[in-house]
């Protein structure tokens, strides 16, 4: 099973440089934790990353944040609690995933309250050719959790997920008492509705990068 290639440009893998001071995880890390590695993209100050690491000791989480100030805040709390199952990374997640994540290695990817990119729809995660590469890094039956307070963003992502990427996708409302991230807390406190997509990569799904 795959998606309709004619609707998605091929991601230009070879144009992506490694992040500055790139330090890959060891091959042992990927082997020892096989089936139990998750990735968070745009982890902000790390609220979800820390909670997840605390509540899921059998899973490893790699939490990536591009903005230095937010990354430093995440690193500070991560260092204070020293979790053996949390790795925090200061990098662009696209570059880090391309150079640091093996094919079919991730059990789950979290993208929680991504920048809505109102003037740059091509930069929304499901609209990017990179999304095909990201799917190739998921294991069969791996999951993507995407949350947003912007109904149009979620509706567009849902349509893209189902129509273009051909992925089983569930849309739900985030419970009003959820407190996973700083942005989620802020939006729910204002009385806004937050939405979530739970996307699954079927076991027989194949992208053009699953063998790369």
Ligand X SMILES: C[S@@+](CC[C@H](N)C(=O)[O-])C[C@H]1O[C@@H](n2cnc3c(N)ncnc32)[C@H](O)[C@@H]1O
At a CB cut-off of 8 Å and minimum separation 6, what does 4 contact? 164, 166
Stretch that binds ligand X, among 4-12, 80-88, 150-158, 176-184 (CB under 6 A): 176-184
| 179-186 long-range contacts, CB within 8 A, separation 24+ | 179/47, 180/47, 180/48, 180/51, 180/112, 180/147, 181/44, 181/47, 181/48, 181/112, 181/113, 181/147, 182/44, 182/45, 182/47, 183/44, 183/112, 183/113, 183/149, 184/112, 184/113, 184/147, 184/149, 185/47
Per CB under 6 A, the list member of 19, 38, 42, 167 interacting with ligand X is 42
Under the criterion CB under 6 A, does residue 183 sit at the interface with ligand X?
yes
If one asks whether residue 182 binds ligand X (CB under 6 A), the answer comes out as yes
Is 66 among the residues that bind ligand X (CB under 6 A)? yes
Q: Output the CA angle 15-19-25, nearest 5 degrees.
A: 115
Count of residues of this chain found to bind ligand X when the rule CB under 6 A is applied = 20
Q: Are strands 195-200 and 138-148 parallel, antiparallel or unpaired?
A: antiparallel
State which residue, 101 or 205, has the beta carbon closest to ligand X.
101
Smallest gap from Cβ 125 to ligand X, in A, equals: 9
Q: Binding of ligand X at residue 78 (CB under 6 A)? A: no
Residue-level length of the chain: 212
Contact residue for ligand X among 86, 94, 98, 135 (CB under 6 A)? 94
CB closer to ligand X out of 81 and 179: 179
Tell me: does residue 17 bind ligand X (CB under 6 A). no
Contact between 209 and ligand X by CB under 6 A: the answer reads no
Contact stretch for ligand X (CB under 6 A) within 27-35, 37-45, 167-175, 199-207:
37-45
Cβ-based nearer residue to ligand X, 184 or 210:
184
Nearest approach, Cβ of 113 to ligand X (angstroms)?
4
- Per DSSP, the chain holds a count of helices (H) and strands (E) of 7, 7
Considering the complex, what minimum distance in angstroms separates the CB of residue 131 from ligand X?
12
């Amino acid at each position: 099973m795959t998606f309709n290639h004619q609707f998605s440009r091929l991601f230009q893998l070879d144009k992506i440089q490694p992040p500055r001071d790139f330090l890959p995880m060891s091959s042992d890390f990927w082997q020892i934790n096989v089936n139990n590695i998750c990735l968070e993209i745009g982890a902000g100050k790390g609220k979800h990353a820390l909670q997840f690491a605390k509540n899921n000791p059998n899973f490893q989480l790699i939490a990536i944040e591009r903005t230095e100030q937010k990354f430093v805040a995440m690193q500070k709390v991560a260092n204070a609690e020293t979790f053996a199952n949390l790795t925090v990374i200061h990098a662009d997640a696209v570059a880090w995933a391309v150079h640091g994540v093996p094919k079919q290695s991730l059990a789950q990817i979290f993208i929680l309250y991504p920048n809505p990119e109102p003037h740059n729809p091509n930069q929304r995660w499901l609209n990017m050719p990179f999304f095909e590469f990201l799917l190739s890094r998921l294991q069969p039956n791996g999951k993507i959790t995407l949350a947003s307070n912007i109904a149009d963003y979620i509706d567009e992502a849902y349509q893209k997920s189902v129509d273009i990427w051909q992925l089983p996708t569930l849309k739900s409302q985030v419970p009003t008492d959820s407190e996973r991230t700083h942005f989620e807390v802020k939006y729910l406190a204002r009385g806004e509705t937050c939405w979530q997509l739970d996307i699954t990569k079927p076991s027989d799904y194949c992208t053009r990068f699953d063998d790369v």
